[in-house]
Amino acid sequence: MGPLSGLRIIEIDGLGPVTFAGMVLADMGAEVLRLTRGGGAPAAVFDEVGGEVLHRGRTAVPVDLKSPEDRDRVLRLIESADALIEGFRPGVMERLGLGPETCAARNPRLVYGRVTGWGQSGPMADQVGHDINYIALSGALHPMGAGDRPPSPPLNLIGDYGGGAMMLVSGVLAAMLEAKTTGRGRVVDAAMTDGSALLTSLFHALHARGLWSDQREANLLDGGTPFYRCYACKDGEFVAVGALEPRFYAALITGLGLTPDEAPQFDRENWPALQARFAALFAARDRDDWAAHFAGTEACVTPVLTLTEAADHPHNRARGTFVEAGITQPAPAPRFGASAASVRAERPIRPLDEALADWKGRTSLRA
């Protein structure tokens, strides 16, 4: 049982951040009902890209939100829910008759979590977009990638998941905690532009002090230094070097067979030449050879692993970072106590009437 055991959350099925947020909440023990589209719901359980992992731990309940009968049943579910999460564009839930005010009238304690790209307000609130657009506007995309090329999208980890889903999860948890004291829920407006902007807080602080340039690959954490970047190895694989602190840098250059006089750490004018020298050294041996060479040192050198390799790394195996549940997939995180987290598989599709009767027949544990 996870720390959210006993809490009931309704997830209005969608793509991207709301699906990931539903997975995280279910991983933490919440009882999450994923309300899917009516007619195509049976196929939608696993047919969505990533569904076999991202839908884990909760039941799919087919509904037709445009049907007055189904909408009334959903409102009755809401009476017993602690939170609802949805990822539609602004106004869609209101047009379906399931907006925050309507739901609050049925359940004043309900926390209503909304995740969108641009937010519930602002001149771009109704515009379409994707992760790359949201992080572009927030300033999070510009620092990514090589200095002589266009910015490189960091998958959809910053907008959809970091700035969207995880901000939604933290906001919903905070509001549910408050509701236990006040008896009143809140509307959580999680915009991916807001969240991804928040993730850049450190770089705004550095920029204000003149310690961060708008030039890509010219700064401390963007690959601009020879001691914080990736290098190609003889076999075409890569190592990641993160020797920021002088002590760790000393271990790095010792491992590379260099002396402090040959490789001063903070001589910025010499960084391009030093980077080229490091590159030549790393290119002389295979990735795993370098990993073994630096193992147990403070040089902060690690192999850059593929998704498949990561699941098989001894450290990840020892911690149970990945699990086998139908397919290899990341285990729930964070941990609560010493025991390894386990994955709850996708539960069978349930009819709406059956789900409603079950919720109404059990006492909520939220009080």
Residues with active-site annotation: 130, 160
242-to-192, 235, 289, 301, 319 alpha-carbon distances in Å: 29, 21, 18, 6, 22
In this structure, are residues 154 and 143 in contact, taking their beta carbons and an 8 Å threshold?
no
Alpha-carbon span 357 to 182, nearest angstrom:
28
Q: What phi and psi, each to the nearest 5 degrees, are found at residue 139?
A: 90, 0
Alpha-carbon span 302 to 290, nearest angstrom:
8
Coil, strand or helix: which one is 253?
Answer: helix
Coil, strand or helix: which one is 20?
Answer: helix
Burial 178-201 (b: 16+ CB within 10 A, else e): ebeeeeebbbbbbbbbbbbbebbe
Angle, CA 343 vertex, CA 338 and CA 348 arms, to 5°: 150
**What are the start-end ranges of the H helices in the chain?**
17-27, 41-47, 51-54, 68-78, 92-95, 100-106, 131-138, 166-182, 192-198, 201-208, 246-255, 271-282, 287-294, 307-312, 314-319, 352-361
Report the sign of the C-alpha dihedral through residues 86, 92, 94, 95, in that order: negative
